[in-house]
Chains A and B, each alone.
Chain A
Amino acid sequence: MKRQLALIRAIGFVTYKEWAAFRSHMLASLLVGPVLFLVQVFIWQAMFEGKETINGLTLPQMLTYYGVATIIHYITFDFADWNLQMLVRSGKFVTFALRPLPHWVFALSQKLGHRSLALWVEVLPVALLFIFLFNVNLIPAAPGLAMVSIALSFLMSFFINYAVGLSAFWLVRAEGVRRVFLLLKDVSAGVFIPLTFFPEILQKILFFLPFQFITYLPTRVYIGEYELAGIRLTLVEAVGLQALAVAVTGCLTLLLYRAALKRFTGVGV
Protein backbone atom coordinates (compact mmCIF):
# COMPACT_ATOMS: atom_id res chain seq x y z
CA MET A 1 0.00 0.00 0.00
CA LYS A 2 2.81 2.37 0.97
CA ARG A 3 4.62 1.50 -2.26
CA GLN A 4 1.47 2.12 -4.29
CA LEU A 5 1.02 5.53 -2.68
CA ALA A 6 4.64 6.41 -3.40
CA LEU A 7 4.09 5.39 -7.05
CA ILE A 8 0.94 7.49 -7.33
CA ARG A 9 2.77 10.46 -5.82
CA ALA A 10 5.73 10.04 -8.15
CA ILE A 11 3.53 9.79 -11.28
CA GLY A 12 1.44 12.75 -10.12
CA PHE A 13 4.57 14.82 -9.50
CA VAL A 14 6.04 14.03 -12.92
CA THR A 15 2.75 14.97 -14.59
CA TYR A 16 2.69 18.19 -12.57
CA LYS A 17 6.21 19.09 -13.75
CA GLU A 18 5.41 18.09 -17.33
CA TRP A 19 2.32 20.31 -17.52
CA ALA A 20 3.96 23.16 -15.65
CA ALA A 21 6.03 23.59 -18.82
CA PHE A 22 2.78 24.35 -20.67
CA ARG A 23 1.26 26.75 -18.14
CA SER A 24 -0.09 29.07 -20.81
CA HIS A 25 -2.40 26.23 -21.91
CA MET A 26 -4.12 26.34 -18.53
CA LEU A 27 -3.81 30.10 -18.15
CA ALA A 28 -6.18 30.49 -21.12
CA SER A 29 -8.91 29.57 -18.63
CA LEU A 30 -8.43 32.98 -17.02
CA LEU A 31 -9.97 34.41 -20.18
CA VAL A 32 -12.35 31.60 -21.13
CA GLY A 33 -13.98 31.06 -17.69
CA PRO A 34 -14.79 34.71 -16.89
CA VAL A 35 -15.91 35.46 -20.49
CA LEU A 36 -18.36 32.54 -20.49
CA PHE A 37 -19.53 33.60 -17.05
CA LEU A 38 -20.02 37.19 -18.22
CA VAL A 39 -22.32 35.90 -20.96
CA GLN A 40 -24.33 34.03 -18.32
CA VAL A 41 -24.54 37.21 -16.23
CA PHE A 42 -26.06 39.14 -19.15
CA ILE A 43 -28.40 36.29 -20.10
CA TRP A 44 -29.80 35.82 -16.62
CA GLN A 45 -29.97 39.53 -15.81
CA ALA A 46 -32.19 39.89 -18.88
CA MET A 47 -34.22 36.79 -18.01
CA PHE A 48 -34.82 37.92 -14.43
CA GLU A 49 -36.07 41.35 -15.51
CA GLY A 50 -39.34 41.80 -13.59
CA LYS A 51 -39.02 38.37 -11.96
CA GLU A 52 -37.96 37.38 -8.46
CA THR A 53 -37.35 33.72 -9.17
CA ILE A 54 -37.15 31.36 -12.13
CA ASN A 55 -37.70 27.70 -11.35
CA GLY A 56 -37.29 28.47 -7.66
CA LEU A 57 -33.88 30.14 -8.09
CA THR A 58 -33.14 33.82 -7.55
CA LEU A 59 -30.64 35.71 -9.75
CA PRO A 60 -27.79 35.51 -7.18
CA GLN A 61 -28.49 31.78 -6.70
CA MET A 62 -28.45 31.22 -10.45
CA LEU A 63 -25.13 33.04 -10.86
CA THR A 64 -23.70 31.16 -7.88
CA TYR A 65 -24.77 27.91 -9.57
CA TYR A 66 -22.82 28.78 -12.73
CA GLY A 67 -19.84 30.13 -10.75
CA VAL A 68 -19.58 27.02 -8.56
CA ALA A 69 -20.20 24.70 -11.52
CA THR A 70 -17.32 26.37 -13.39
CA ILE A 71 -14.96 26.00 -10.43
CA ILE A 72 -15.95 22.33 -9.96
CA HIS A 73 -15.45 21.77 -13.68
CA TYR A 74 -11.89 23.09 -13.45
CA ILE A 75 -11.12 20.96 -10.37
CA THR A 76 -12.52 17.73 -11.83
CA PHE A 77 -11.61 18.27 -15.51
CA ASP A 78 -10.59 15.01 -17.12
CA PHE A 79 -9.18 13.80 -20.42
CA ALA A 80 -8.45 10.18 -19.53
CA ASP A 81 -10.78 9.15 -22.38
CA TRP A 82 -8.77 10.99 -25.03
CA ASN A 83 -5.47 9.79 -23.63
CA LEU A 84 -6.51 6.14 -23.43
CA GLN A 85 -7.98 6.15 -26.93
CA MET A 86 -4.79 7.69 -28.30
CA LEU A 87 -2.68 5.01 -26.56
CA VAL A 88 -4.85 2.18 -27.91
CA ARG A 89 -5.06 3.57 -31.43
CA SER A 90 -1.35 4.30 -31.72
CA GLY A 91 -0.39 0.96 -30.13
CA LYS A 92 1.48 2.71 -27.31
CA PHE A 93 -0.80 1.02 -24.80
CA VAL A 94 1.41 -2.06 -25.15
CA THR A 95 4.04 -0.43 -22.91
CA PHE A 96 1.43 -0.03 -20.18
CA ALA A 97 0.15 -3.58 -20.57
CA LEU A 98 3.65 -4.78 -19.64
CA ARG A 99 4.01 -2.61 -16.54
CA PRO A 100 3.35 -3.95 -13.03
CA LEU A 101 0.77 -1.20 -12.44
CA PRO A 102 -2.76 -1.16 -13.83
CA HIS A 103 -3.12 1.60 -16.41
CA TRP A 104 -6.19 3.05 -14.69
CA VAL A 105 -4.11 3.71 -11.54
CA PHE A 106 -1.49 5.39 -13.73
CA ALA A 107 -4.17 7.52 -15.41
CA LEU A 108 -5.71 8.49 -12.08
CA SER A 109 -2.29 9.48 -10.74
CA GLN A 110 -1.74 11.60 -13.84
CA LYS A 111 -5.06 13.31 -13.25
CA LEU A 112 -4.09 14.04 -9.64
CA GLY A 113 -0.87 15.70 -10.80
CA HIS A 114 -2.52 17.60 -13.63
CA ARG A 115 -5.31 18.97 -11.47
CA SER A 116 -2.92 19.85 -8.61
CA LEU A 117 -1.25 22.24 -11.02
CA ALA A 118 -4.67 23.52 -12.12
CA LEU A 119 -5.53 24.39 -8.52
CA TRP A 120 -3.24 27.40 -8.50
CA VAL A 121 -3.02 28.14 -12.23
CA GLU A 122 -6.73 27.84 -13.07
CA VAL A 123 -9.01 27.33 -10.08
CA LEU A 124 -7.71 29.92 -7.64
CA PRO A 125 -7.36 32.84 -10.10
CA VAL A 126 -10.76 32.15 -11.70
CA ALA A 127 -12.39 31.86 -8.24
CA LEU A 128 -10.85 35.20 -7.24
CA LEU A 129 -12.12 36.80 -10.46
CA PHE A 130 -15.62 35.46 -9.76
CA ILE A 131 -15.55 36.76 -6.18
CA PHE A 132 -14.08 40.20 -6.79
CA LEU A 133 -15.23 40.95 -10.33
CA PHE A 134 -18.70 39.41 -10.32
CA ASN A 135 -19.47 39.35 -6.57
CA VAL A 136 -20.29 35.65 -6.68
CA ASN A 137 -20.69 34.07 -3.27
CA LEU A 138 -18.27 31.13 -3.36
CA ILE A 139 -18.45 30.31 0.35
CA PRO A 140 -19.77 26.74 0.65
CA ALA A 141 -22.82 26.18 2.89
CA ALA A 142 -21.14 23.14 4.48
CA PRO A 143 -17.38 23.23 3.67
CA GLY A 144 -16.63 19.65 4.79
CA LEU A 145 -19.43 18.06 2.78
CA ALA A 146 -18.69 20.29 -0.21
CA MET A 147 -15.07 19.09 -0.23
CA VAL A 148 -16.10 15.43 0.03
CA SER A 149 -18.64 15.95 -2.75
CA ILE A 150 -16.05 17.59 -5.04
CA ALA A 151 -13.58 14.76 -4.32
CA LEU A 152 -16.27 12.23 -5.26
CA SER A 153 -17.08 14.24 -8.38
CA PHE A 154 -13.35 14.11 -9.25
CA LEU A 155 -13.47 10.30 -9.09
CA MET A 156 -16.82 10.03 -10.89
CA SER A 157 -15.62 12.16 -13.77
CA PHE A 158 -12.49 10.00 -14.01
CA PHE A 159 -14.35 6.68 -13.98
CA ILE A 160 -16.89 7.79 -16.59
CA ASN A 161 -14.27 9.27 -18.91
CA TYR A 162 -12.02 6.26 -18.49
CA ALA A 163 -14.93 3.93 -19.33
CA VAL A 164 -15.56 5.99 -22.48
CA GLY A 165 -11.86 5.70 -23.34
CA LEU A 166 -12.09 1.92 -22.96
CA SER A 167 -14.47 1.84 -25.95
CA ALA A 168 -11.31 2.16 -28.08
CA PHE A 169 -10.59 -1.51 -27.39
CA TRP A 170 -13.75 -2.44 -29.32
CA LEU A 171 -13.98 0.32 -31.93
CA VAL A 172 -11.37 1.03 -34.60
CA ARG A 173 -11.93 4.77 -34.42
CA ALA A 174 -13.78 5.69 -31.24
CA GLU A 175 -13.37 9.48 -31.38
CA GLY A 176 -16.90 10.09 -32.65
CA VAL A 177 -18.47 7.95 -29.92
CA ARG A 178 -16.33 9.67 -27.32
CA ARG A 179 -17.31 13.17 -28.42
CA VAL A 180 -21.05 12.37 -28.64
CA PHE A 181 -21.00 10.71 -25.24
CA LEU A 182 -19.10 13.54 -23.58
CA LEU A 183 -21.49 16.13 -24.96
CA LEU A 184 -24.49 14.21 -23.67
CA LYS A 185 -22.66 13.79 -20.36
CA ASP A 186 -22.21 17.56 -20.02
CA VAL A 187 -25.87 18.21 -20.85
CA SER A 188 -27.00 15.55 -18.36
CA ALA A 189 -24.58 16.75 -15.69
CA GLY A 190 -26.09 20.24 -15.55
CA VAL A 191 -23.11 22.06 -17.05
CA PHE A 192 -25.23 24.20 -19.39
CA ILE A 193 -28.32 24.68 -17.24
CA PRO A 194 -29.52 23.43 -13.80
CA LEU A 195 -31.23 20.07 -14.26
CA THR A 196 -34.41 21.37 -12.62
CA PHE A 197 -35.15 23.19 -15.89
CA PHE A 198 -35.67 19.89 -17.70
CA PRO A 199 -39.17 18.39 -17.99
CA GLU A 200 -40.25 16.28 -14.98
CA ILE A 201 -39.91 12.95 -16.77
CA LEU A 202 -36.36 13.77 -17.94
CA GLN A 203 -35.41 14.87 -14.42
CA LYS A 204 -36.49 11.45 -13.14
CA ILE A 205 -34.28 9.74 -15.73
CA LEU A 206 -31.37 12.08 -14.98
CA PHE A 207 -31.70 11.34 -11.27
CA PHE A 208 -30.79 7.70 -11.91
CA LEU A 209 -27.96 8.39 -14.37
CA PRO A 210 -24.43 8.86 -13.00
CA PHE A 211 -23.82 12.22 -14.71
CA GLN A 212 -25.59 14.47 -12.19
CA PHE A 213 -22.95 13.39 -9.63
CA ILE A 214 -20.22 15.14 -11.65
CA THR A 215 -21.56 18.70 -11.70
CA TYR A 216 -25.16 19.14 -10.59
CA LEU A 217 -25.09 17.38 -7.21
CA PRO A 218 -21.75 18.77 -5.99
CA THR A 219 -22.81 22.26 -7.09
CA ARG A 220 -26.10 21.98 -5.19
CA VAL A 221 -24.29 20.54 -2.14
CA TYR A 222 -21.86 23.47 -2.33
CA ILE A 223 -24.78 25.91 -2.42
CA GLY A 224 -26.48 24.12 0.47
CA GLU A 225 -29.61 22.42 -0.85
CA TYR A 226 -30.30 19.52 -3.18
CA GLU A 227 -33.40 18.85 -5.22
CA LEU A 228 -34.02 16.98 -8.46
CA ALA A 229 -37.18 15.43 -9.96
CA GLY A 230 -39.13 16.59 -6.91
CA ILE A 231 -36.79 14.62 -4.61
CA ARG A 232 -35.29 16.68 -1.81
CA LEU A 233 -32.30 15.25 0.05
CA THR A 234 -30.35 16.56 3.01
CA LEU A 235 -26.71 17.33 2.22
CA VAL A 236 -25.53 14.20 4.06
CA GLU A 237 -28.01 12.02 2.13
CA ALA A 238 -26.98 13.64 -1.16
CA VAL A 239 -23.26 13.04 -0.56
CA GLY A 240 -24.02 9.48 0.63
CA LEU A 241 -25.93 8.81 -2.58
CA GLN A 242 -23.04 10.27 -4.57
CA ALA A 243 -20.54 8.00 -2.76
CA LEU A 244 -22.69 4.97 -3.58
CA ALA A 245 -22.94 6.02 -7.24
CA VAL A 246 -19.15 6.53 -7.45
CA ALA A 247 -18.54 3.07 -5.93
CA VAL A 248 -20.91 1.39 -8.41
CA THR A 249 -19.47 3.31 -11.40
CA GLY A 250 -15.92 2.53 -10.23
CA CYS A 251 -16.70 -1.22 -10.03
CA LEU A 252 -18.32 -1.20 -13.48
CA THR A 253 -15.34 0.65 -14.97
CA LEU A 254 -12.90 -1.87 -13.48
CA LEU A 255 -14.95 -4.77 -14.87
CA LEU A 256 -14.88 -3.08 -18.27
CA TYR A 257 -11.13 -2.55 -17.90
CA ARG A 258 -10.60 -6.30 -17.31
CA ALA A 259 -12.74 -7.18 -20.32
CA ALA A 260 -10.84 -4.64 -22.44
CA LEU A 261 -7.44 -6.06 -21.49
CA LYS A 262 -8.58 -9.50 -22.66
CA ARG A 263 -9.38 -7.99 -26.07
CA PHE A 264 -6.16 -6.06 -26.39
CA THR A 265 -3.75 -7.06 -29.12
CA GLY A 266 -0.53 -5.23 -29.82
CA VAL A 267 2.82 -5.87 -31.46
CA GLY A 268 4.28 -8.90 -29.69
CA VAL A 269 1.35 -9.25 -27.26
Chain B
Amino acid sequence: MRGIITCWAAVIRTKLAEQMAYRSHFALSVLLLIVGDLVAPLVTLLVYRAGASFPGWSLHEALLVQAVFVLAKGVAFPFFFGMVGTTLSQVREGTFDLLLLRPRPVMFMSMLGGFDPEDFGRLLSGAVLFGYALSGIVAPDWQSWLQFSLLFIASITILCSVSLFLSGILFRWVGSSRVFDIFDAVTSFGMYPGTIFSKAMQNILTYVLPIGLIAFVPASALLGKSGWGSLWALASAALLLLLGILFWNRMLRNYTSAGG
Protein backbone atom coordinates (compact mmCIF):
# COMPACT_ATOMS: atom_id res chain seq x y z
CA MET B 1 0.00 0.00 0.00
CA ARG B 2 2.85 2.33 0.93
CA GLY B 3 4.48 1.58 -2.42
CA ILE B 4 1.27 2.43 -4.27
CA ILE B 5 0.95 5.76 -2.46
CA THR B 6 4.61 6.56 -3.17
CA CYS B 7 4.06 5.83 -6.86
CA TRP B 8 0.98 8.05 -7.00
CA ALA B 9 2.74 10.87 -5.17
CA ALA B 10 5.69 10.70 -7.57
CA VAL B 11 3.42 10.71 -10.63
CA ILE B 12 1.30 13.59 -9.32
CA ARG B 13 4.44 15.66 -8.68
CA THR B 14 5.86 14.88 -12.13
CA LYS B 15 2.62 15.55 -14.00
CA LEU B 16 2.07 18.83 -12.20
CA ALA B 17 5.63 19.91 -12.99
CA GLU B 18 5.04 18.93 -16.63
CA GLN B 19 1.86 21.03 -16.77
CA MET B 20 3.63 24.00 -15.21
CA ALA B 21 5.94 24.13 -18.23
CA TYR B 22 2.88 25.23 -20.25
CA ARG B 23 0.93 27.15 -17.63
CA SER B 24 -1.41 29.01 -20.01
CA HIS B 25 -2.26 25.75 -21.75
CA PHE B 26 -2.95 24.10 -18.40
CA ALA B 27 -5.18 26.99 -17.28
CA LEU B 28 -7.09 26.95 -20.58
CA SER B 29 -7.53 23.19 -20.46
CA VAL B 30 -8.94 23.37 -16.94
CA LEU B 31 -11.22 26.20 -18.08
CA LEU B 32 -12.34 24.11 -21.03
CA LEU B 33 -13.28 21.21 -18.78
CA ILE B 34 -15.23 23.56 -16.51
CA VAL B 35 -17.08 25.17 -19.43
CA GLY B 36 -17.52 21.85 -21.23
CA ASP B 37 -19.12 20.19 -18.23
CA LEU B 38 -21.50 23.08 -17.83
CA VAL B 39 -22.94 22.75 -21.35
CA ALA B 40 -25.56 20.14 -20.45
CA PRO B 41 -26.69 22.11 -17.34
CA LEU B 42 -26.80 25.25 -19.51
CA VAL B 43 -29.12 23.50 -21.96
CA THR B 44 -31.29 22.31 -19.05
CA LEU B 45 -31.40 25.86 -17.69
CA LEU B 46 -32.36 27.32 -21.08
CA VAL B 47 -35.11 24.75 -21.57
CA TYR B 48 -36.56 25.34 -18.09
CA ARG B 49 -36.37 29.08 -18.78
CA ALA B 50 -38.53 28.48 -21.86
CA GLY B 51 -41.24 27.07 -19.58
CA ALA B 52 -40.62 23.36 -20.15
CA SER B 53 -39.47 20.83 -17.55
CA PHE B 54 -38.80 17.16 -16.88
CA PRO B 55 -42.07 15.92 -15.38
CA GLY B 56 -41.74 15.64 -11.58
CA TRP B 57 -38.32 17.29 -11.49
CA SER B 58 -37.67 20.90 -10.55
CA LEU B 59 -34.76 22.75 -12.15
CA HIS B 60 -32.55 22.30 -9.09
CA GLU B 61 -33.37 18.60 -8.85
CA ALA B 62 -32.53 18.05 -12.52
CA LEU B 63 -29.31 20.02 -12.09
CA LEU B 64 -28.43 17.88 -9.08
CA VAL B 65 -28.36 14.77 -11.30
CA GLN B 66 -26.00 16.54 -13.69
CA ALA B 67 -23.88 17.87 -10.82
CA VAL B 68 -23.40 14.38 -9.38
CA PHE B 69 -22.42 13.16 -12.85
CA VAL B 70 -19.78 15.90 -13.21
CA LEU B 71 -18.50 15.32 -9.66
CA ALA B 72 -18.10 11.59 -10.30
CA LYS B 73 -16.17 12.37 -13.47
CA GLY B 74 -14.10 14.88 -11.48
CA VAL B 75 -12.86 12.06 -9.25
CA ALA B 76 -12.74 9.18 -11.73
CA PHE B 77 -11.23 10.96 -14.73
CA PRO B 78 -7.94 12.21 -13.22
CA PHE B 79 -7.18 8.84 -11.64
CA PHE B 80 -8.63 6.20 -13.96
CA PHE B 81 -9.86 7.53 -17.26
CA GLY B 82 -6.49 8.78 -18.47
CA MET B 83 -5.52 5.15 -19.06
CA VAL B 84 -7.87 5.10 -22.06
CA GLY B 85 -5.87 7.88 -23.74
CA THR B 86 -2.49 6.40 -22.83
CA THR B 87 -3.48 2.91 -24.00
CA LEU B 88 -4.71 4.44 -27.26
CA SER B 89 -1.44 6.23 -28.00
CA GLN B 90 0.98 3.69 -26.50
CA VAL B 91 -0.53 0.69 -28.29
CA ARG B 92 -0.53 2.60 -31.58
CA GLU B 93 3.06 3.73 -31.17
CA GLY B 94 4.25 0.39 -29.78
CA THR B 95 5.50 2.04 -26.58
CA PHE B 96 3.13 0.03 -24.39
CA ASP B 97 5.98 -2.49 -24.13
CA LEU B 98 7.64 -0.16 -21.63
CA LEU B 99 4.80 -0.72 -19.16
CA LEU B 100 5.21 -4.49 -19.47
CA LEU B 101 8.84 -4.21 -18.38
CA ARG B 102 8.20 -2.25 -15.19
CA PRO B 103 8.21 -3.98 -11.78
CA ARG B 104 4.56 -3.19 -11.03
CA PRO B 105 1.22 -4.61 -12.31
CA VAL B 106 0.62 -3.44 -15.89
CA MET B 107 -2.91 -2.17 -15.15
CA PHE B 108 -1.63 -0.10 -12.24
CA MET B 109 1.17 1.35 -14.37
CA SER B 110 -1.31 2.16 -17.12
CA MET B 111 -3.53 4.03 -14.63
CA LEU B 112 -0.52 5.86 -13.22
CA GLY B 113 0.66 6.90 -16.68
CA GLY B 114 -2.79 8.23 -17.49
CA PHE B 115 -3.05 10.45 -14.43
CA ASP B 116 -4.17 13.87 -15.63
CA PRO B 117 -4.32 16.86 -13.25
CA GLU B 118 -6.31 18.87 -15.83
CA ASP B 119 -9.33 16.70 -15.10
CA PHE B 120 -9.55 18.09 -11.57
CA GLY B 121 -11.23 21.07 -13.28
CA ARG B 122 -14.32 18.89 -13.48
CA LEU B 123 -14.32 18.64 -9.71
CA LEU B 124 -14.53 22.43 -9.52
CA SER B 125 -17.40 22.73 -12.02
CA GLY B 126 -19.15 19.78 -10.36
CA ALA B 127 -18.79 21.33 -6.91
CA VAL B 128 -20.17 24.70 -8.06
CA LEU B 129 -23.10 23.04 -9.80
CA PHE B 130 -23.68 20.74 -6.82
CA GLY B 131 -23.77 23.71 -4.45
CA TYR B 132 -26.17 25.58 -6.72
CA ALA B 133 -28.47 22.56 -7.06
CA LEU B 134 -28.47 21.96 -3.29
CA SER B 135 -29.38 25.59 -2.64
CA GLY B 136 -32.74 25.04 -4.35
CA ILE B 137 -33.86 21.84 -2.64
CA VAL B 138 -34.87 20.85 0.88
CA ALA B 139 -31.71 20.12 2.92
CA PRO B 140 -31.14 16.34 2.93
CA ASP B 141 -30.98 14.53 6.31
CA TRP B 142 -27.94 12.52 7.48
CA GLN B 143 -29.39 9.25 6.22
CA SER B 144 -29.70 10.67 2.71
CA TRP B 145 -26.12 11.92 2.91
CA LEU B 146 -24.91 8.50 4.03
CA GLN B 147 -26.81 6.76 1.22
CA PHE B 148 -25.47 9.29 -1.24
CA SER B 149 -21.87 8.82 -0.07
CA LEU B 150 -22.05 5.06 -0.49
CA LEU B 151 -23.74 5.33 -3.88
CA PHE B 152 -21.17 7.90 -4.97
CA ILE B 153 -18.45 5.30 -4.35
CA ALA B 154 -20.46 2.94 -6.58
CA SER B 155 -20.65 5.69 -9.19
CA ILE B 156 -16.86 6.15 -9.26
CA THR B 157 -16.37 2.38 -9.34
CA ILE B 158 -18.61 2.16 -12.41
CA LEU B 159 -16.65 4.90 -14.19
CA CYS B 160 -13.43 3.07 -13.31
CA SER B 161 -14.90 -0.14 -14.79
CA VAL B 162 -15.96 1.70 -17.94
CA SER B 163 -12.41 3.02 -18.36
CA LEU B 164 -11.11 -0.56 -18.08
CA PHE B 165 -13.53 -1.75 -20.76
CA LEU B 166 -12.68 1.13 -23.12
CA SER B 167 -8.97 0.77 -22.51
CA GLY B 168 -9.21 -3.00 -23.07
CA ILE B 169 -11.01 -2.54 -26.39
CA LEU B 170 -8.09 -0.46 -27.62
CA PHE B 171 -5.75 -3.46 -27.57
CA ARG B 172 -7.77 -4.78 -30.50
CA TRP B 173 -9.30 -1.62 -32.01
CA VAL B 174 -5.91 0.03 -32.32
CA GLY B 175 -5.72 3.81 -32.31
CA SER B 176 -9.42 4.53 -32.48
CA SER B 177 -10.14 7.78 -30.68
CA ARG B 178 -13.83 7.19 -31.32
CA VAL B 179 -14.01 5.29 -28.01
CA PHE B 180 -14.30 8.72 -26.36
CA ASP B 181 -17.30 9.59 -28.58
CA ILE B 182 -18.86 6.23 -27.76
CA PHE B 183 -18.35 6.89 -24.04
CA ASP B 184 -19.89 10.37 -24.30
CA ALA B 185 -22.85 9.09 -26.29
CA VAL B 186 -23.64 6.13 -24.05
CA THR B 187 -23.16 7.98 -20.77
CA SER B 188 -25.29 10.93 -21.94
CA PHE B 189 -28.27 8.86 -20.74
CA GLY B 190 -26.90 9.23 -17.23
CA MET B 191 -27.06 13.03 -17.22
CA TYR B 192 -30.84 13.20 -17.03
CA PRO B 193 -33.46 11.97 -14.55
CA GLY B 194 -34.01 8.28 -15.23
CA THR B 195 -37.78 8.72 -15.09
CA ILE B 196 -37.85 10.45 -18.51
CA PHE B 197 -36.85 7.18 -20.18
CA SER B 198 -39.23 4.38 -21.10
CA LYS B 199 -39.54 1.49 -18.64
CA ALA B 200 -37.53 -0.81 -20.91
CA MET B 201 -34.79 1.77 -21.25
CA GLN B 202 -34.76 2.35 -17.49
CA ASN B 203 -34.19 -1.37 -16.97
CA ILE B 204 -31.37 -1.41 -19.51
CA LEU B 205 -29.75 1.64 -17.88
CA THR B 206 -29.99 0.04 -14.45
CA TYR B 207 -29.28 -3.66 -14.97
CA VAL B 208 -27.50 -4.06 -18.35
CA LEU B 209 -25.48 -0.86 -18.85
CA PRO B 210 -25.60 0.64 -15.35
CA ILE B 211 -25.29 4.22 -16.59
CA GLY B 212 -28.21 5.26 -14.41
CA LEU B 213 -26.20 4.33 -11.32
CA ILE B 214 -23.57 6.98 -12.08
CA ALA B 215 -25.70 10.00 -11.22
CA PHE B 216 -29.45 9.36 -11.18
CA VAL B 217 -29.47 6.84 -8.32
CA PRO B 218 -27.08 8.78 -6.00
CA ALA B 219 -28.95 12.04 -6.71
CA SER B 220 -32.28 10.33 -6.01
CA ALA B 221 -30.88 9.16 -2.65
CA LEU B 222 -29.91 12.70 -1.76
CA LEU B 223 -33.38 13.91 -2.73
CA GLY B 224 -34.96 11.24 -0.55
CA LYS B 225 -36.55 9.64 -3.62
CA SER B 226 -35.03 6.17 -3.02
CA GLY B 227 -34.67 3.99 0.05
CA TRP B 228 -31.83 1.86 1.45
CA GLY B 229 -32.71 -0.77 -1.15
CA SER B 230 -30.83 1.27 -3.74
CA LEU B 231 -27.57 0.27 -2.06
CA TRP B 232 -27.64 -2.92 -4.14
CA ALA B 233 -25.84 -0.64 -6.62
CA LEU B 234 -22.66 -1.19 -4.57
CA ALA B 235 -22.72 -4.91 -5.35
CA SER B 236 -23.52 -4.17 -8.97
CA ALA B 237 -20.58 -1.75 -9.21
CA ALA B 238 -18.22 -4.25 -7.57
CA LEU B 239 -19.30 -6.94 -10.04
CA LEU B 240 -18.79 -4.57 -12.96
CA LEU B 241 -15.32 -3.68 -11.68
CA LEU B 242 -14.43 -7.35 -11.45
CA LEU B 243 -15.65 -7.90 -15.00
CA GLY B 244 -13.69 -4.84 -16.13
CA ILE B 245 -10.46 -6.17 -14.57
CA LEU B 246 -10.98 -9.61 -16.14
CA PHE B 247 -11.79 -8.06 -19.52
CA TRP B 248 -8.76 -5.76 -19.46
CA ASN B 249 -6.37 -8.58 -18.58
CA ARG B 250 -7.95 -10.81 -21.24
CA MET B 251 -7.55 -8.08 -23.86
CA LEU B 252 -3.96 -7.41 -22.76
CA ARG B 253 -3.12 -10.89 -24.04
CA ASN B 254 -4.07 -9.63 -27.51
CA TYR B 255 -1.36 -6.99 -27.41
CA THR B 256 1.05 -7.91 -30.14
CA SER B 257 3.56 -5.05 -29.82
CA ALA B 258 5.33 -3.63 -32.86
CA GLY B 259 6.80 -7.00 -33.82
CA GLY B 260 3.43 -8.76 -34.22
Residues of A within 8 A of B (CB): 24-25, 28-29, 31-32, 35-36, 39, 42-43, 45-49, 51, 54-55, 171-173, 175-177, 179-180, 183-184, 187, 192-193, 197-199
Contacts and interface: CB of A to CB of B under 8 A. Distances in A.
Contacts of A184: 35
B245 to A, nearest CB: 25
Chain B interface residue bracket vs A: 35 or more
A192 B39 contact: yes
A71 to B, nearest CB: 16
B22 to A, nearest CB: 5
A29 B181 CA distance: 8
Given A176-B29, A198-B46, A47 B39 contact: no
Given A47-B47, A54-B47, A183 B25 contact: no
A10 to B, nearest CB: 26
A42 B197 contact: yes
A183 B196 contact: no
B201 interface: yes
Interface in B128-175: 173
A7 to B, nearest CB: 29
13 contacts: A25-B178, A28-B181, A46-B196, A48-B52, A51-B51, A173-B25, A177-B28, A179-B29, A180-B32, A183-B35, A193-B43, A197-B43, A197-B50
A183 B34 CA distance: 11
Contacts of B182: 28, 31-32
The main secondary structure of chain B at its interface with chain A is helix
A39 B55 contact: no
B55 A36 contact: no
Contact of B55 (A24, A49, A173, A192): A49
Contacts of B22: 172-173
B192 interface: yes
Given A32-B185, A180-B28, A51 B39 contact: no
B229 to A, nearest CB: 25
Contacts of B186: 35
B257 interface: no
Interface in B47-61: 47, 49-55
B32 A179 contact: yes
B227 interface: no
Given A42-B192, A42-B197, A183-B36, A55 B50 contact: yes
B107 interface: no
B6 interface: no
